[in-house]
Amino acid sequence: MESIIQGKAFVLGRNIDTDQIIPAEHLVYSLSDPEEVKLYGKFALSGVPLAQSGLPAGNIPFVQEGSFASDYTIIIAGQNFGCGSSREHAPFALQVAGVKAIIAESYARIFYRNCVDGGFVIPYETAIQLAETVKTGDELKIDIKANTVENLTSGETYQLNALGDVFNIVEAGGIFAYARKENLMAQS
């Protein structure tokens, strides 16, 4: 596991549901065929109404027309990120698009589990309303050991909540890697 995640921020509001992260019409593509998988990157966050896409200005597409990956690697969002359906295609699409971490005020349970157990992206929580201070395009640097995020554009540093119980699963890279390490894969 890397100890630093650095990249451009993409800022969203609250209650970003999984239909906005990956609209249902795209759930038919294979998650294992390398060519089809690219489509999840192309359509990641394509359901977000344009005015709310890339705050505070808005009207910023997450993925450029004709591209299969995003220029942004860290998502900043408000409360209840990933609410709605159980589709694991949502954190998967974000990973395919190039996202490494999300920093939100809170998450919906299934989305959070999927991020962690699938090893797709790291879901950080913070009590600070970063979506109010970070601007889309700001360069951010997450220090995984220190649980901090530094906004290199503004020079400010913020505290993130520790990953707690799930850190070991995140560090292992997902529930299967963790279970192998802990010898939990035996059948009941």
Partner 1 sequence: MEQTITQKILARAANRKFVNTGENVWLNVDVLLTHDVCGPPTFDIFNQEFGEGARVWDPEKVVVLPDHYIFTANEHAHRNIDLLRKFAKEQNLPNYYDVGTDRYRGVCHVALAEEGFNLPGTVLFGTDSHTCTSGAFGMFGSGIGNTDAAFILGTGKLWEKVPESMLFTFDGEMPEYLSAKDLILQILGDIGTDGATYRAMEFNGEAIHSLPMEERMTLTNMAIEGGGMNGIIAVDEITEAFVKSKTSKPYEIFTSDPGAAYFSKTRYNASEMEPVVAKPHSPDNRATVQSMKGTKITKSYIGSCTGGKLADFKLAAKILSGQRVSVPTNIVPATVKVARDLETELYNGKSLKSIFEDAGCSIALPSCAACLGGPTDTVGRSVDRDVVVSTTNRNFPGRMGSKQAEVYLASPLTAAASAITGKLTDPRNYL
Q: Using the rule CB under 8 A, is 138 a contact of partner 1?
A: no
Q: Using the rule CB under 8 A, is 7 a contact of partner 1?
A: no
Pick the stretch among 23-31, 56-64, 129-137, 148-156 that binds partner 1 (CB under 8 A): 23-31
Q: Could you give the string, one character per residue 88-107, with x where binding to partner 1 holds by CB under 8 A and - elsewhere?
A: xx-x--------------xx
Please write down the HEC assignment for all residues of the chain.
CCCEEEEEEEECCCCCEHHHHCCHHHCCCCCCCHHHHHHHHHCCCCCCCHHHCCCCCCCCCCCCCCCCCCCEEEEEECCCECECCCCCHHHHHHHHHCCCEEEECCECHHHHHHHHHCCCCEEEECCCCHHHHCCCCCEEEEECCCCEEEECCCCEEEECCCCHHHHHHHHHCCHHHHHHHCCCCCCC
Judged by CB under 8 A, which of 42, 54, 63, 87 binds partner 1?
87
Q: Could you give the string, one character per residue 30-69, with x where binding to partner 1 holds by CB under 8 A and - elsewhere?
A: xxx--------------xxx--------------------
Pick the stretch among 13-21, 54-62, 123-131, 136-144 that binds partner 1 (CB under 8 A): 13-21
